[in-house]
Amino acid sequence: MKLFKNLLLLSYLLFMAACTEQDELASIAEKALEGTTAIDLAQTSGQLVSGTSFTIGGNSFQAGTITGRVAATEETAKSPGDLKGMDKGKGGHKGIMDGLNLLAPNDEILAIVEAESAGDIRGFRMYKLGGATITHYDASGKVVELPVATTVDGPHGGHSGNQFPELDSLLSLIVKSKVDFGAGVTVTKNDQDITRKGVIMVSRTKVGIVLTEKVEFQNYVVNGIQISGVKTIVSEFDKATGKGSVKSTVANGKFIFVGGETGVWTSEKDRKSEVVRGNDSRKPISGKIITNVKTAIKTASGTVIYAHQTTTPLEIDLSCSGKRRGPTLGKLETAYRTNKITVDFGDGSCTNQTITITVNGVTTTKTIGG
């Protein structure tokens, strides 16, 4: 009888140990998920502000599934802080957006990415891969294809501040673009459905070296979140001096989230550039682009749903030539609900590959790359 009792006790202890281990693994997985979501937000807001493509070590795409996150790299495992209520009722994890390194941890961030990217080259790529019918018109109203940039004519300027002159020139000769999802188009990204419906209209006028673009959302909805407003982008670029500027503002911006919560969307971006182009006129070989941004989505009572702003201007050094992706200098603050994330992009050096991220008061260093 004593032996039987001992066996029962041993079985119970083994069972409790197994349960404890499972609980610990679940806790580690949840912590890793929170950590990667914080990195996702830092990466996405940084890309939206700077207009560049880069990755931050430890993001969700690198970490893979939750199971993968538990056994992920040392950098991933070092969670920079806890996010509060990040994913509750906000839609599933969307992961990376159409190969653009834009990460959308949930539907709310997905909608913000859509709004902030609309009208630029990255936005057009995203919508095309999302199943939209995209039609471009010339000044006479004829349907045209995007023109190919030529080395003879060179860049026409555009709202990247001539950071990407070849891509800018693709849009400069088109006066109107219509992005149409009709009654709804659904695509699946990383096992999550993204459904978009409605229209985004982009109109362009150019006087001298000044290009004005208006991006208007018409009954536009992504995964049940409605976006409205008009974004105006005014850019100019002087090919003789290599100097350019871009200013964008949003008028009557509004988000209506699932459940009826409404947020007023305001956004201001000011970018100045001075670049030296290569002999083929397609790609700057040196120069700097400096950006200041203040974007916010707030409820009528002033509660912040999402915001990002530069506390120190972000600076991109084009002479880095791939040695350092993204901004090399500047500080960016991102707020989401009750969470606050700050990124210090470095000391301006092309060889420095580390950035500092602070999430709700907890600071860590991460790598930045392509």
- Residue 162: the pLDDT is 54
- Residue 15: the pLDDT is 44
- Residue 30: the pLDDT is 39
- Residue 22: the pLDDT is 42
Residues of the chain with pLDDT under 50: 7-10, 12-33, 65-78, 149-159
Distance CA 36, CA 63 (A): 8
What is the DSSP code string of 77-94? HS---PPSS-STTS----
- Residue 156: the pLDDT is 41
- Residue 139: the pLDDT is 83
- Residue 68: the pLDDT is 34
Q: Is 110 exposed, middle or buried (0-12, 13-18, 19+ CB in 10 A)?
A: buried
Residue range 184-219, pLDDT digits in tens: 999 887 678 899 999 999 998 888 888 899 999 999
Q: Which sign, positive or negative, has the C-alpha torsion 10, 16, 17, 22? A: positive
- Residue 231: the pLDDT is 97
334's CB contacts (< 8 A; 6+ apart) are: 41, 42, 45, 306, 307, 308, 340, 341, 342, 343
- Residue 102: the pLDDT is 82
The reported pTM is 0.81
- Residue 92: the pLDDT is 63
